[in-house]
């Protein structure tokens, strides 16, 4: 990907203005309107958010303080009471939207289903009642391990309806990874399916849940609620496991929305970091509802006539904020797709756009790069003229992929909304507003109103334009993560003390490197920590190392990212073996499979290199920089003189 080098991005001067007809109908029209909103929010953030919260959301009871900021702990809309599902469902039922499509689901193989707002409401209420019947109470955590079927969204909303925080675990994670998360969250119940369809295969989700819970290894879990999807033979443990369709039959479709405190926990979502186990990112109710609502509305210029499709999985934050909560809170039609492009159906994304007349399409750069490789014929053979806005998320988009997206998919008429954000931020932080912001290929453009993003050095000093630095946020925003579940100290250390606070001024550090140009546009350069990004999935190198070391053959492991033209990065592992093991290809295959078992297929190393030793400093720290260079076949960058044993590098270069 030669065109993502800093030099080429510095030379990227193309500018694309929002199409005139789109801009003329947008809620936020033109840069002057954006600048005005930005300045207004900056001058009085509390006033700005309070006005929107009152105007855009339904509250059972108003707040008496907009923001309580005790760095690094924030509370938004203090003592306000609301329920996010009231905003996503109930309030639409008294309008013409009652029978509007809320969720359009395209399933595999060839299934489809549309739920109107009234129908979605019914099913959510029924599941909420079933959860209550199974003993789930306000405050209890519920694990969700599901394929991409409507019941995944229904499960999330049912939890939120009764005030039970959910923790969705991506269906591609292994039983082991699921167990860790259920354990950390102390989940009382798990919602899953007999299986899911993925790439022409059945994924045995229920079997993985059984394995995660085997021998009562997560004693907090009392019940498993199973949705019938594939009709594969599965085991149902008497007393513990219940079928959703059986309980649904007897469940009332009326379940009042529990009035939640604005700061009550809405969900926990686990994500990878530099050190240790995945962290449970905590999001609460009021601020998250408001921020996901506003960002989707303004960045994508969401209209009631839009058919909006985000291709993420509900197991990630993008699915939470922008398949479920953001769109439904706005009363939009959200498309959910169970499939992924696969050899037997490479054009499936374009078929979905044509079939439903999708107007807003939001996907990841890795998918775009994969489509480029498949050739222009596939999209060109479909009618994509319904599209009016395109979006991307998950990793920096290289200008070449941006231009292809713009020309081949967008027919040169659709603005590209490149949204930079994170699990921790809850919603878009740096993003164009479709009807306002001129875009530059490869830049996420400008911060959303209310987001005081900046570029600083490691001491927190601002850096000049066009100089690389750390991407930070200077002021709290409504959907910021509140803490790491059960570990306030880790929250403080990881996000707020990485760059030391000065004079009581705390900077939120996101983990990304960035450059800002003279127009104030941000160019994200990627992670500066030990997190790697494989096909837009975030993986901690430490997690993969721990998985490898848990195999009896492995003495030591070091994992780095190696550049890949389609997936962005791939997992490259250096491994030293215990004395009694020999470095064979069969062992490499076994170790790769071991990682799949411990974490999931998304973490499978593309390559494993055996080594007699790893390069270390005199104090025993692995020098990853060198390993990254070695993995990519580059010359070593940096000084090798701090190394304990220089011959290690020669041996590694010869490879094995
Ligand atoms: C990266 C996904 C460049 C970034 C919503 C961030 C991006 C991490 C972009 C968060 C973008 C996300 N341009 N990089 N538009 N969007 N990233 O938590 O490194 O899965 O820190 O959230 O993805 O990944 P996460």
* pLDDT per position as a tens digit, 109-125: 889 999 999 999 999 99
Evaluate whether 481 touches 281 at the Cβ level (below 8 Å): yes
User: pTM (2 decimals)?
Assistant: 0.95
Rg value, the chain, Cα? 24
What pLDDT score does 7 carry? 58
Q: Which among 153, 130, 432, 139 is positioned nearest to 263, based on CA atoms?
A: 139
pLDDT above 60 (res 2): no
The per-residue pLDDT for range 153-180, each reduced to its tens digit, is: 999 999 999 999 999 999 999 999 999 9
Q: Give the mean model confidence (pLDDT) for residues 316-328.
A: 98
Kindly compute the dihedral angle of the four CA atoms of residues 105, 106, 112, 116, in this order, to the nearest 10 degrees. 20
**Which are the contacts of 176, defined by CB distance < 8 A and separation ≥ 6?**
212, 597, 598, 599
pLDDT in tens, 411-435: 999 999 999 999 999 999 999 999 9
For atom 12 of ligand 1, the residue with the nearest CA is 394
pLDDT of 3 reads 42
Among 229-238, 274-283, 547-556, 635-644, the minimum mean pLDDT is found in: 635-644
Q: Going by CA atoms, what residue is nearest to atom 23 of ligand 1? A: 394
Question: Residue 633's pLDDT is what?
Answer: 86
Candidate of 274, 446, 524 to mutate for ligand 1, largest count of ligand atoms within 8 Å of Cβ: 524
Over the stretch 580-604, which tens digit does the pLDDT of each residue have? 999 999 999 999 999 999 999 999 9
> What span, in angstroms and rounded, lies between the C-alpha atoms of 40 and 60?
28
Give residue-wise pLDDT tens across range 122-147. 999 999 999 999 999 999 999 999 99
Task: Report whether residue 165 contacts ligand 1, using a CB cutoff of 6 Å.
Answer: no
SS3 label, residue 106: strand
pLDDT, average across residues 333-356? 95
Mutation to probe ligand 1, out of 313, 322, 395, 442 (largest number of atoms < 8 A from CB): 395
How far apart are the CA of 533 and the centre of ligand 1, in A? 8
Residue 311 pLDDT more than 50?
yes
Residue 250 pLDDT > 80, yes or no? yes
Q: Is the pLDDT of residue 222 over 60?
A: yes
Is 292 near ligand 1, meaning CB less than 6 Å away?
no
382 contact partners, CB below 8 Å, separation of at least 6: 347, 350, 351, 353, 354
Q: What percent of the chain stands above pLDDT 70?
A: 98
Find out whether 290 and 478 touch, Cβ atoms under 8 Å: yes
Which band of pLDDT confidence, cut at 50, 70 and 90, is reported for residue 527?
A: very high
332's CB contacts (< 8 A; 6+ apart) are: 296, 302, 304, 306, 308
643: part of which helix (H) or strand (E)? none
pLDDT score of 637: 73
Phi, psi of 399 (to 5 degrees): -55, -30
Euclidean distance between CA atoms 481 and 425, whole angstroms: 6
End-to-end CA distance of the chain: 26
3-state secondary structure 496-551: HCCCCCECCECCEEEEEEEEECCCCCEEEEEECCCEEEECCEEEEHHHHHHHHHCC
Residue with CA closest to ligand 1 atom 4: 395
d(CA 393, CA 132): 36
Stretch (H or E) spanning 147: none
Q: What is the pLDDT of residue 1?
A: 35
Q: For residues 498, 500, 505 and 509, what is the CA-based torsion angle, rounded to 10 degrees?
A: -20
């Amino acid at each position: 990907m030669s065109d993502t080098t800093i030099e080429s991005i510095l030379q990227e001067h193309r500018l694309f203005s929002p199409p005139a007809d789109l801009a003329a109908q947008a809620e936020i029209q033109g840069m002057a309107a954006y600048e005005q909103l930005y300045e207004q929010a900056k001058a009085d953030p509390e006033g700005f958010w309070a006005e929107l919260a009152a105007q855009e959301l339904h509250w059972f009871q108003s707040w008496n303080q907009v923001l309580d900021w005790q760095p690094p702990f924030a509370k938004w809309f203090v003592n306000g009471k609301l329920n996010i599902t009231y905003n996503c469902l109930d309030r639409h039922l008294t309008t013409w939207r009652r029978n509007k499509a809320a969720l359009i689901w395209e399933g595999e193989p060839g299934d489809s289903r549309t739920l109107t707002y009234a129908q979605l409401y019914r099913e959510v209420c029924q599941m909420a009642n079933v959860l209550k019947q199974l003993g789930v109470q306000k405050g209890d955590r519920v694990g969700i391990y599901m394929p991409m079927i409507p019941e995944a969204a229904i499960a999330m909303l049912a939890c939120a309806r009764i005030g039970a925080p959910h923790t969705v675990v991506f269906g591609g994670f292994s039983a082991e990874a699921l167990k860790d998360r259920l354990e950390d969250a102390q989940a009382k119940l798990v919602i899953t399916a007999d299986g899911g369809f993925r790439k022409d295969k059945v994924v045995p989700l229920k079997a993985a849940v059984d394995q995660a819970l085997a021998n009562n290894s997560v004693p907090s879990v009392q019940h498993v609620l199973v949705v019938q999807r594939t009709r594969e033979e599965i085991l149902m443990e008497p007393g513990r496991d219940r079928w959703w369709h059986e309980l649904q039959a007897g469940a009332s479709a009326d379940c009042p929305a529990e009035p939640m405190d604005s700061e009550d926990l809405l969900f926990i979502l686990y994500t990878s970091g530099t050190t240790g186990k995945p962290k449970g990112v905590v999001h609460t109710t009021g601020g998250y509802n408001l921020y996901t609502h506003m960002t989707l509305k303004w960045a994508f210029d969401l209209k009631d006539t839009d058919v909006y499709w985000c291709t993420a999985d509900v197991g990630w934050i993008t699915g939470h904020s922008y398949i479920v909560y953001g769109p439904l809170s706005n009363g939009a039609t959200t498309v959910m797709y169970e499939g992924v492009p696969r050899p037997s159906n490479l054009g499936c994304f374009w078929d979905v756009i044509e079939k439903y007349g999708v107007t807003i399409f939001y996907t990841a750069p890795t998918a775009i790069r994969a489509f480029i490789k498949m050739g222009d014929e596939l999209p060109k053979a479909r009618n994509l003229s319904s599209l009016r806005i395109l979006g991307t998320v998950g990793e920096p988009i290289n200008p070449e992929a941006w231009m292809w997206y713009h020309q081949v998919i967008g027919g040169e008429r659709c603005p590209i909304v490149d949204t930079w954000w994170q699990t921790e931020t809850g919603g878009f932080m740096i993003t164009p507003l479709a009807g306002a912001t001129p875009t530059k290929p490869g830049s996420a453009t400008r911060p959303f109103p209310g987001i005081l993003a900046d570029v600083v050095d490691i001491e927190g000093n601002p850096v000049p334009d066009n100089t690389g630095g750390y991407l930070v946020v200077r002021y709290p925003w409504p959907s910021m993560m509140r803490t790491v579940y059960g570990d306030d100290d880790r929250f403080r250390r990881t996000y707020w003390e990485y760059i030391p606070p000065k004079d009581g001024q705390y900077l939120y550090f996101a983990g990304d490197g960035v450059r800002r140009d003279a127009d104030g546009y941000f160019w994200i350069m990627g992670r500066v920590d030990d997190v790697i990004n494989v096909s837009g999935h975030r993986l901690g190198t430490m997690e993969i190392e721990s998985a490898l070391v848990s195999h009896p053959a492995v003495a030591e492991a070091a994992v780095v990212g190696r550049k890949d033209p389609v997936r962005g990065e791939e997992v490259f592992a250096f491994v030293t073996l215990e004395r009694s093991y020999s470095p064979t290809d069969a062992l490499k295959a076994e170790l790769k499979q071991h990682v799949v078992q411990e974490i999931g297929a998304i973490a499978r190393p593309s390559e494993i290199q055996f080594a007699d030793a790893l390069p270390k400093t005199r104090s025993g720290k692995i020098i990853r920089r060198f390993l990254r260079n070695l993995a990519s076949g580059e010359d070593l960058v940096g000084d090798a003189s701090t190394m304990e044993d220089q011959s290690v590098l020669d041996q590694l270069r010869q490879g094995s």
